[in-house]
Chains A and B, each alone.
Chain A
Amino acid sequence: MFLVALGVTTYSLVAEKLIAIEFAKKELIGSQYLATIRKAYDVILMHREENGSARDIDDVLSALQAAEANASGSLQTSELQQEFAVALRNLAASPPTPGNPALLDALAKARVLAVRIGDDSNLTLDPDLDTYYLQNNIVKKLPDILGRLGELQIWGRGTGQPRLFLHQQRMRVLVANSLLRSDVARVEENLVRAYRGNSDGSLKREIQSVFALMISNINGYLSSASGRIDGNTRPTNASTVKFSYQRAVGSSIAAWAAAQSELDRLLNLRIDGLFSRMRFSLLLTGALATLSIFIAFLTYRHIVIPLERFEAIAREISESKDYSLRMEQDSRDEIGRLAKAFNEMLSELAAARDRDITEHSELARIQRMTTLGAMSASIAHEINQPLAAIVTNSNAAQRWLGHSEPDLDEARAALRRIVDDGHRASQVIASIRATFKKDGDNKVKLSVNDLIGEVLRLSSSKLQTHKVVVKTHLSDGLPQVAADRIQLQQVLMNLIANANDAMTSVTNRPHVLRVSSELQNADSILITVEDNGSGIDQKDRDKIFDALFTTKTSGMGMGLFICQSIIESHGGRLWASPGDLFGTKFCLVLPTGKTDDA
């Protein structure tokens, strides 16, 4: 992106300069072409006068050809050059008579060619003031002046018979005369403007004297020539006129040459300037690019590298959880401050994490204590129940016996209930002890069906009270299981009590408790206890085996927790699923230990 921007900038800069350079180079070509024209004028006006040989004209022709070839088609001058060449050949072929039309024709063609060269070679579009006014002199004014000098000389000489000077001819001379003066004035104006546009004044130094000479010579010629035309002043010697003419033409050509070389010099100067400016621009762009790359490098070193280290540390901490890692960056810049903040944040995180861990272990301790408290409350309740019955029965028995006629039957019944309750209390204690005793010393081989029958008998009064119909489906010939009788009793009693509780709220259908046993596979027995009660909420199903979880207003939430731990200590599984139509089905799988049996 950056490099593309740099490339585009450089390219547009170079292209712009190259266009300006091409422009100036084309001007140079035009200027050189004009030098050839100047030579042609020299030959036409000077040497023709002196019966100049055809060889001079041939020289000029070949020089023209060379100049045209040099322009190499960049100027659209070939047609005009051909016409000029034809005019020159005509001039060479014609006799050197005064007022030769071939001469005038050649002059006219030369001027047209000069103007075309000026137009096509960008000279007339020159952007600088000094070169613009200078080229204007060279392209337009000097050819005009030379052409008019030539015309004036031809017409002024007339046919050699002064009396035959026609009025028209005189008028023509007068017009040419005044045109020449105006041209000279324009040349002077252009020079003044060119000098003003030339900042270092070198132009003026080089050409002022030459042009001054030219102007004075032209003025001299005009005054000598005008005397001959008017005829009022003393007749001028023809040779004097001719001499002043030659001086005027010569100095004009010299001025042209000087101006030409100055124009070339200024154009070359401009091309050099453009080249050096282009080099400077390229240098500047290069320097900027280098600076940018340097800054990018510094950015990378001072920002990207530390950021990568930040990232690496953050990643390492998230992987290793080692919060003691720190970012090492002592600089006082933004990155240094960021590193400080980053390290402080890490310290905070580590402290928060430590606090979390402490709080968590504290919470776990409280939870253990709560569980213990709840368990002891639950145990107290389980024991208190038979104890209360025992105490009450004892009191009742005492009162029956204390009557004036002791009622022995009632007392005996109370004592029997006391014995039952005493056994019940001891079973509760035994099962609690067994729950927390991990060894399997109390395990004996027992029949599951016998155990179920026992438990149902024990629960029968409670079930009858709640009008529960018990339906059993016990498979025959089940293998025995090695189990702790009291623990297993406790589990089944708990499940049956739960089933009973779940049905108390149901009033629109008979209460049915289904208990079944079957061989699940070769080495395990499945016991199910199913009620048609209110069922378990979906949201509670995962939690019913948790300690302290209960849906009962008066429950401790220990029953199923203890049941599950008992079954698991027997290597079995206990789970709950919804009943077939209503209620809940508890499934209990016990291993038969068949391998030991065999």
Chain B
Amino acid sequence: MTKEQQTAKPLVFVVDDDTSLREALKSLFNSVGLQIEVFSSAAEFLQHRLSNAPSCLVLDIRLPGMSGLDFQADLAKANIQIPIIFMTGHGDIPMSVRAMKAGAVEFLTKPFRDQEMLDAVQLGLKQDTERREDESAHSRLKADFETLTPREKEVMALVTAGLMNKQVAGELNVSEITAKVHRGNVTRKMGASSLADLVRMADALGLRRPKS
């Protein structure tokens, strides 16, 4: 695991039409060292370029022009995966159930306790970080796999399927020495520490053993 993705600082987005609450939240998040961007409407938020940093969205359920729940649905449709914490002036159960079912991190009733808000935001950021790490690990694995030659890919599939070097050579109709060289290249290029590590990578990549 490389730590280079963590260099971007986590970011909290707040969308609320009430100026003073926006200011208060900005102050609160700043006081615990969190970066924050505030928006007065959903449209304004959408115009902003989303950052690469782990982030979460604190959303008022009553927004001018569009309800927060509808906005949540729109984001899901646009495949923008960002954890959402809802705020509402008057808690109502059906609304919160709907929000939670749609994958919201938390549903807070105004006025809320600062710790609850901060915990929810931390949880959201953690979820986003994990999602991003999963995504980046997978993409790195894919990039490594793409550096293999076609022959090396075949060797990796056969080896991870449990075949001995001799068997691999037989399958590919090459000498055992050549098979060994290919296997060494595969292990090095994929950065695998053991055969078990390589098998796990093959599973993550979805490699299937060619039929003999």
**A414 to B25 alpha-carbon distance, docked (Å):** 10
- 30 A–B contacts, CB within 8 A, in A order: A377-B90, A380-B90, A381-B62, A381-B90, A384-B110, A384-B111, A388-B24, A388-B89, A389-B18, A389-B24, A390-B24, A391-B111, A391-B113, A392-B27, A393-B23, A396-B24, A396-B30, A396-B114, A399-B28, A399-B114, A407-B31, A410-B27, A410-B31, A413-B27, A417-B23, A417-B24, A461-B19, A552-B64, A552-B65, A553-B66
Known A388-B111, A395-B114, A501-B64; judge A466-B40 contact (CB<8 A). Answer: yes
Name 4 extra pairs, CB < 8 A, besides A377-B90, A554-B62: A389-B21, A395-B114, A554-B61, A554-B64
List the B residue with the shortest CB-CB distance to A418.
Answer: B24
Interface membership of chain B positions 103-130, coded 1 if the CB is closer than 8 angstroms to chain A and 0 otherwise:
0000000111110010000000000000
Interface membership of chain A positions 386-418, coded 1 if the CB is closer than 8 angstroms to chain B and 0 otherwise:
111111110111011001000100100110010
Query: With a CB–CB cut-off of 8 A, which chain B residues contact A595?
Result: none
**A413 to B66 alpha-carbon distance, docked (Å):** 31
**Any A CB within 8 A of the CB of B197:** no
**Any B CB within 8 A of the CB of A462:** yes
Interface membership of chain A positions 456-471, coded 1 if the CB is closer than 8 angstroms to chain B and 0 otherwise:
0000011001100000
**A377 to B62 alpha-carbon distance, docked (Å):** 13
Interface membership of chain B positions 50-65, coded 1 if the CB is closer than 8 angstroms to chain A and 0 otherwise:
0000000000011111
List the B residue with the shortest CB-CB distance to A397.
Answer: B27
**Any B CB within 8 A of the CB of A420:** yes
List the A residue with the shortest CB-CB distance to B90.
Answer: A380
Known A385-B18, A396-B27, A424-B20; judge A554-B110 contact (CB<8 A). Answer: no
**A461 to B87 alpha-carbon distance, docked (Å):** 22
**Any B CB within 8 A of the CB of A504:** yes
Question: Residue B67 contacts which of A384, A387, A390, A553 (CB distance < 8 angstroms)?
Answer: A553
Interface majority SS (helix, strand, loop, mixed), chain A: helix
Question: Residue A410 contacts which of B30, B61, B110 (CB distance < 8 angstroms)?
Answer: B30
Q: Does the CB pair B18–A504 fall under 8 Å?
A: no
**Any A CB within 8 A of the CB of B160:** no
**Any B CB within 8 A of the CB of A126:** no
Q: Does the CB pair B25–A392 fall under 8 Å?
A: yes
Q: Does the CB pair A414–B20 fall under 8 Å?
A: no
**Any A CB within 8 A of the CB of B72:** no
**A253 to B21 alpha-carbon distance, docked (Å):** 152
Interface majority SS (helix, strand, loop, mixed), chain B: mixed
Known A399-B31, A501-B65; judge A553-B70 contact (CB<8 A). Answer: yes
In the complex, chain A residues 394-453 whose Cβ is within 8 Å of any chain B Cβ: 395-397, 399-400, 403, 407, 410, 413-414, 417, 420-421, 424
Query: With a CB–CB cut-off of 8 A, which chain A residues contact B43?
Result: 504
Question: Residue B110 contacts which of A388, A500, A553 (CB distance < 8 angstroms)?
Answer: A388
Q: Does the CB pair A465–B25 fall under 8 Å?
A: no
| Nearest CB of chain B from residue A5's CB, rounded to whole Å | 81
Query: With a CB–CB cut-off of 8 A, which chain A residues contact B181?
Result: none
List the B residue with the shortest CB-CB distance to A460.
Answer: B19
List the A residue with the shortest CB-CB distance to B44.
Answer: A465
Question: Residue B21 contacts which of A388, A410, A554 (CB distance < 8 angstroms)?
Answer: A388
**A244 to B43 alpha-carbon distance, docked (Å):** 155
Interface membership of chain B positions 22-56, coded 1 if the CB is closer than 8 angstroms to chain A and 0 otherwise:
01110110111000000011011000000000000
Query: With a CB–CB cut-off of 8 A, which chain B residues contact A389?
Result: 18, 20-21, 23-24
**A381 to B89 alpha-carbon distance, docked (Å):** 5
Q: Does the CB pair A462–B89 fall under 8 Å?
A: no
Interface residues on B, range: 20 to 34
**Any B CB within 8 A of the CB of A361:** no
**A418 to B24 alpha-carbon distance, docked (Å):** 9
Total contacts A-B at CB 8 Å: 109
Chain A residues engaging chain B, CB cutoff 8 angstroms: 377, 380-381, 384-393, 395-397, 399-400, 403, 407, 410, 413-414, 417, 420-421, 424, 461-462, 465-466, 500-501, 504-505, 552-554
Instruction: Point out which of A417, A424, A504 has the most chain B C-beta atoms below 10 A from its C-beta.
Output: A504
Instruction: Point out which of B31, B61, B70, B117 has the most chain A C-beta atoms below 10 A from its C-beta.
Output: B31
List the A residue with the shortest CB-CB distance to B38.
Answer: A465
List the B residue with the shortest CB-CB distance to A459.
Answer: B19
Query: With a CB–CB cut-off of 8 A, which chain B residues contact A552?
Result: 64-65
In the complex, chain B residues 179-194 whose Cβ is within 8 Å of any chain A Cβ: none
Question: Residue A417 contacts which of B20, B41, B110 (CB distance < 8 angstroms)?
Answer: B20
The 8 residue pairs across chains A and B that have the minimum distance between CB atoms? A395-B114, A554-B62, A388-B110, A392-B24, A399-B31, A396-B27, A391-B111, A396-B28
**A448 to B124 alpha-carbon distance, docked (Å):** 49
Query: With a CB–CB cut-off of 8 A, which chain A residues contact B64?
Result: 500-501, 504, 552, 554
List the A residue with the shortest CB-CB distance to B65.
Answer: A504
| Nearest CB of chain A from residue B88's CB, rounded to whole Å | 9
**A407 to B90 alpha-carbon distance, docked (Å):** 33
Query: With a CB–CB cut-off of 8 A, which chain A residues contact B32?
Result: 399
| Nearest CB of chain B from residue A397's CB, rounded to whole Å | 8
| Nearest CB of chain B from residue A382's CB, rounded to whole Å | 8
List the B residue with the shortest CB-CB distance to A390.
Answer: B111
Query: With a CB–CB cut-off of 8 A, which chain A residues contact B87?
Result: 388
Q: Does the CB pair B27–A414 fall under 8 Å?
A: yes
Q: Does the CB pair A387–B110 fall under 8 Å?
A: yes
Query: With a CB–CB cut-off of 8 A, which chain A residues contact B40?
Result: 462, 465-466
List the A residue with the shortest CB-CB distance to B43.
Answer: A504
**A395 to B27 alpha-carbon distance, docked (Å):** 9
**A417 to B19 alpha-carbon distance, docked (Å):** 11
**A504 to B63 alpha-carbon distance, docked (Å):** 11
List the A residue with the shortest CB-CB distance to B32.
Answer: A399
Query: With a CB–CB cut-off of 8 A, which chain A residues contact B65?
Result: 501, 504-505, 552-553
